[in-house]
Amino acid sequence: MQEESRVSNRAERIRLDIWHPDCWTLQVTEATDAGLIAYGVYDLENAVKARIVAYGDDVATIDDVVAATRASPFTDAVHEMDHAFGASKAITAGNATRELLVTYRSDESIHEALVSRGLIPDAPIRIRNGRERWTVLAEADVDLQECLDEVRREMNAEITVTGTGSSVATVADLDDRLTERQREVFEAARCHGYYDLPRRITSAALADELGIAKATLLEHLRKAESKLLDP
């Protein structure tokens, strides 16, 4: 009976790929070459405040995404931080980074729709090319399909489950020194079984899946592995 109690109290990690309308993060990352990492999303009365790190290849790219964020009809206020509080974790996301505090309306945020159904963020939310990538925790008794269907209807959202259980041991849990591209490639390799024995996918097939050259894939993996194995 004690063992059954422990099992029933377990939570599962789930990776989600999300799109929903009227979302400033999706629009500005689709319109620019920058990415965003949300390190904190706080629901207040009729508003949401988010601590965001914008990253890109150069300062001009960051300027573009900040300008797009200010110009968005879905943001109410954008403040640049005087110092990068999260820089120690975010600086390797791109060659240039900038930390922002952004205020926007709660009815345009999908955060509360997920959290209120027991899907609790377990890692920074990563936004790139007009898509949000979430890692959430769900208790064992949560009906994941029903919850996601409710969120899809409420927010007119597209939500895809891209990993569950042990496959969602994200690189963020292991190390935060990877660039965003190294992280994406390494997570894809793990998800597709590149590191399984025997391998479930070849490097050539994985490169095709990601739309990059095989040599580029192997270089990203080599650098990621070197960083993760370096004590």
Quickly state the pLDDT bin for 83 (edges 50, 70, 90).
low
126 and 17 part of one domain: yes
Contacts of 37 (CB under 8 A, 6+ apart): 52, 53, 55, 90, 93, 124, 125, 126, 127, 180
Residue 33 lies in a domain: yes
Please count the structural domains in the chain.
Answer: 2
pLDDT of 88: 46
CA distance 139 to 78: 35
Tell me which of 146, 165, 184 is where a domain ends.
Answer: 165
Residue 133 lies in a domain: yes
- In this prediction, residues 2-17 reach a mean pLDDT of 64
Residue 4 lies in a domain: no
Its domain, for residue 141, covers 11-165
pLDDT at 112 over 60: yes
pLDDT of 179: 78
pLDDT tens-place string over residues 146-178: 999 999 999 999 999 987 875 555 555 555 667
Tell me which of 110, 141, 165 is where a domain ends.
Answer: 165
161 and 215 part of one domain: no
pLDDT of 75: 96
Residue 66 lies in a domain: yes
- In this prediction, residues 137-151 reach a mean pLDDT of 91
Quickly state the pLDDT bin for 21 (edges 50, 70, 90).
very high
124 and 32 part of one domain: yes
pLDDT at 7 over 90: no
Question: Hey, CA dihedral for 20, 24, 25, 29, is it positive or negative?
Answer: positive
179 and 110 part of one domain: no
Residue 5 lies in a domain: no
CA distance 137 to 108: 22
Residue 65 lies in a domain: yes
156 and 184 part of one domain: no
Residue 2 lies in a domain: no
59 and 159 part of one domain: yes
- In this prediction, residues 177-192 reach a mean pLDDT of 82
Mean pLDDT is highest, among 36-45, 87-96, 153-162, for 153-162
How large is the C-alpha radius of gyration of the chain?
Answer: 18
CATH of the domain at 194: 1.10.10
pLDDT of 8: 47
201 and 135 part of one domain: no
Task: Supply the DSSP symbol for 56.
Answer: E
